[in-house]
């Protein structure tokens, strides 16, 4: 089978804090006013992405990998992760503040949940004036002080708030307490995991009038209590070349702004390539086919590609590999 670039049907998720920007700004088709997440490429059980283009339209990502494991993933990715797709790609619209939360690391997630941990990256696509993110603590905090702040409702006083603007990028290591604030639209790249320890939720109630579950006890051994200063990503924006953003154990991300047609030789790249379109539009072509994407859409180019041709008059892309 000649594997062409794949688009997938977005998996839209209603959330208490969701809004309408995924529809109005990114063109997702929905009648709901509470869409918080669009899962663009997912191998998560129960939420597996389905191919939306070409002769393999209707094929699940898991079936695609089972049929063509090395061709889709790359030999080195297959050796590390087996046939489980190792990352989850999302767009997130926070109309209201998200709960304050953290994610366990690989070791703890494996021990407790037989799962990967969750390290993630956020690229801010849009932010209302004054919008904020929460990342980590203002100062180092002891385990005992953290537990006390949870009990007496003063956790917010210890947290680090960051004002954000379009283009700001953050790398969130597992164990870092964090939250996306109201008015922020982001592109998110993360390990394949849906594990979240929610520690504070502003006493909000779900659609049935119930307070949402908190995971106070689980969080105690999972959290990093140290103040962190390395979460904001610095990167250049040189046109028509990949600008490195993140180079981690779990994924690598480049920022690519193009104003002309550009061809990349990926014959030595032993990994699939994902492009998230964060502005403009582009035709993405490999050896066996092409696909068009615009702002708010995502494509996966299989690892078997020897080249990737990007045909555009103007586009901004996040390029993700393993």
Catalytic residues: 198
Q: In b/e form, how buried is each residue of 247-279, taking b as 16+ CB within 10 angstroms?
A: eeebbbbbbbbbeeebebebeebbbbbbbbbbe
- H/E segment holding residue 293: strand 289-294
Angstrom distance (rounded) from CA 106 to CA 81: 13
Closest CA to 112 of 54, 172, 195, 22: 195
Residue 136 in tokens? 């980590």
Close Cβ partners of 167 (under 8 Å, ≥ 6 residues apart)? 123, 124
Angstrom distance (rounded) from CA 60 to CA 57: 9
Angstrom distance (rounded) from CA 281 to CA 258: 10
Residue 197 is classified by DSSP as E
CA atoms within 13 Å, Cβ hemisphere of 138 = 6
- H/E segment holding residue 265: strand 262-265
The distance from CA 96 to its chain's CA centroid, rounded to whole angstroms, is 19
């Amino acid at each position: 089978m000649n594997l062409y670039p794949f688009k997938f049907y977005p998996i839209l998720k209603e959330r208490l804090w969701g809004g309408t920007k995924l529809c109005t700004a990114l063109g997702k088709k929905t009648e709901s006013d509470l869409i918080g997440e669009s899962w663009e490429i997912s191998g998560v059980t129960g939420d597996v992405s389905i191919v939306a283009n070409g002769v393999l339209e209707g094929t699940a990502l898991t079936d695609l990998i089972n049929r063509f494991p090395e061709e889709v993933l790359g030999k080195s990715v297959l050796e590390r992760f087996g046939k489980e797709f190792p990352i989850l790609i999302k767009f997130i619209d926070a109309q209201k503040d998200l709960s304050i939360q953290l994610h366990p690391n690989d070791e703890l997630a494996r021990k407790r949940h037989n799962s990967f941990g969750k390290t993630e990256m956020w690229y801010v696509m849009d932010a209302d004036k004054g919008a904020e993110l929460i990342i980590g603590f203002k100062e180092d905090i002891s385990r005992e002080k953290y537990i006390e702040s949870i009990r007496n409702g003063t956790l917010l006083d210890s947290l680090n708030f960051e004002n954000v603007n379009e283009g700001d990028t953050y790398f969130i290591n597992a164990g870092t307490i964090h939250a996306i604030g109201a008015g922020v639209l982001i592109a998110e790249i993360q390990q394949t995991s849906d594990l979240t320890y929610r520690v504070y939720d502003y006493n909000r109630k779900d659609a049935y009038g119930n307070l949402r579950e908190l995971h106070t006890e689980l969080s105690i051994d999972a959290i990093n209590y140290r103040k962190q200063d390395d979460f904001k990503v610095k990167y250049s924006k040189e046109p028509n070349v990949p600008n490195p953003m993140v180079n981690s154990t779990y994924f690598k991300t480049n920022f690519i702004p193009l104003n002309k047609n550009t061809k990349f030789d990926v014959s030595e790249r032993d990994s699939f390539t994902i492009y998230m379109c964060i502005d403009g539009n582009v035709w993405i072509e490999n050896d066996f086919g092409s696909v068009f994407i615009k702002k708010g859409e995502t494509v996966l180019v299989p690892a078997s590609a020897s080249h990737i041709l990007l045909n555009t008059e103007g586009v901004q892309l996040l390029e993700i590999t393993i």
